Chain A
Amino acid sequence: MIQDIAASGKQQVSPHETVDSKGIVRILNGHRQQRGGLISVLGEIQSQYGYLPEDALRVVADETGNSLVDVYGVATFYRSFRLQPRGKHLICVCLGTACHVRGAPMVVEEFERRLAIQPGQTTPDREFTLETVNCLGACALGPIVVVDGCYFPGVRAQDVGQILEKARLERVEVPSMVAASG
């Protein structure tokens, strides 16, 4: 899948953001005392750039003395790390068992059709990223869609257009509790 994303991502979005190696070294310095702080370093880089740029991984490998393949292995192992830039809005469709039997695959298909991307990809205008998740733990509310931290319960395929419109107009209201924790 990583390869798919990498291949398709290159056609779609050109991740041309200059990586400030000094900034990355600064992040690394914050974790020097910590043994094996690679995951927190990568997490901090991702929160700064929104994804893990290739050059950033190279800097991390050079600075920590790890080989690039080890750093890359960790970055691809965890689902929360992404190697391709993310769109402005993140759409996350739950495909857990409960959501699945209630028609979540149809919802994903509708998102795919409207955005013309596959799950894991970002639209060329960098507006939307579509992702699927295996369970959000809110099975009673399924099929559930999360847009930028806001949960839409009981989504049917015909609701997809409305959700996208809301997201585009930035009318997605995130409950204060979620906003505070996330």
Chain B
Amino acid sequence: MLEVDITVRRGAFRLEAAFASAAPIVALFGRSGSGKSTIVEAIAGLVRPQSGRIVVDGRTLFDAGRGIDLAPEARRVGCVFQDALLFPHLSVRANLDYGERLTPRAERFVDRARVIELLGLGALLQRRPTTLSGGETQRVALGRTLLASPRLLLLDEPLAALDAPRKAEILGYIELLRDEIALPMVYVSHAIEEVTRLADRLVLVSDGRTVAEGEVADVLSRADLEPYTGRFEAGAVIEARVTRHDERYGLTVLGFEGGELVVANLDALPGEPVRARIRSRDVALALEKPRAASFQNVLEARVESLGGDYGAIVDVQLTVGGVPLVARITRESAERLALAPGLRVYALVKAIAIDRRSVGYA
């Protein structure tokens, strides 16, 4: 359980953050400069808030009212930063040793051999940080932080400096850690794909304030929060399970409350829970079931509301068997189809619009 309720003033910048989460991974999501990193620094003890309190699993790290302000080294909060910050004068092995040696034996719950194996660090131990690639650097940073046996892991845009393949690689490792080590995490990002893949709860940060918090799927499908989540990022998140694979065409079928979704080949076993994000601009609407069309996914849906006043564009809020979905279409189309709340429509989603990057292993 993580409880944060703080105000931080830093020159002209003012941050007011309040949220609580018991989820394994909570995401702080918002544009750069919104104050996400300041929240992380306050939790780590690197920035002192003017007022408020920070509690992790019942342990008070900071409480202005009671005069409690634990030093960073006493908080047992691990940090992984965008630029890794490995010690350049130490070998990879010495970097890994750094935090572990400072942790009393009784407090160590992370097995060194296991971490080295999980993150594939065995071959890197003799190397110097300056000779590592971006992905390797971030893996070592993860390992170094884990070996200090933190009670909470803060990941501050850990993928921002990496290219797409490395991003996917490190995301995979973070998922592995989440499942293997069961450490509560705070994941800071401005990339919605990362958030939907990893996180369970989402805290939306904008202009130095926490504007919303809730389940990832709920927050991202709320139309009123779109100014914060971003116009082109808008979409819905669907919790599903792998039903079967179509080996012949390389397709994967996902089952969810509202029916089935066909997506391009997914690397998951039948029965495995996954989370698929469907961007609203990838959803088209039809009044009748198309007979000869390439759409793999034709879902029976009900129009709930029309919104998003962007002139030419309308966001149509739908439910597919109770599961929310959003379609972004032109105002002209909406009027031509005479869309109105309560209307039965078909939501059309191309299978390839749901790619590997937008599906996470829940």
Query: Do A and B truly interact?
Result: no
